[in-house]
Amino acid sequence: MGIIAWIILGLVAGLVARSLVPGKDSQGLIITFVLGVAGALLGGFVATQVFHVKGIQGFFNLSTWVCAILGAAVLLVGYNLVTRRRSGRRSGRWAGRR
């Protein structure tokens, strides 16, 4: 697959993963697209290393899309966990005090 196909695959995978991951969407479309492209690459890498797939089969193959969407969903969940901790409410003994 060419680089344009990877970008399109990542963009669509990011949008699908965003609709599948529960919770409040704290990121914008640009972050979703970046996480989608990175997730597609991550999903393809994991599929080749763990499941010994001989490479991604093609743009219209179901396994390619499943790997890309799962990779994007994993990155999206990780992104939500990291950003929620940073912007979350303060807790503990000093919560609410300034």
Task: Please tell me what DSSP assigns to residue 55.
Answer: S
Contact between 10 and 38 under an 8 Å Cβ cutoff? The reply is: yes
Query: Does residue 98 fall inside a structural domain?
Result: no
77-82 long-range Cβ contacts below 8 angstroms, 24+ apart: 77/21, 79/27, 79/31, 79/35, 80/21, 80/23, 80/26, 80/27
Query: Does residue 80 fall inside a structural domain?
Result: yes
Per residue of the chain (98 residues), give pLDDT as tens.
Answer: 677 887 888 889 999 998 888 877 667 888 888 988 898 888 888 888 887 776 566 777 888 888 889 999 999 988 888 887 666 555 555 555 55
- Predicted TM-score (pTM) of this structure: 0.75
Angstrom distance (rounded) from CA 20 to CA 89 = 25
The domain in which residue 74 lies consists of 3-87
Q: Per the structure, how many domains does the chain have?
A: 1
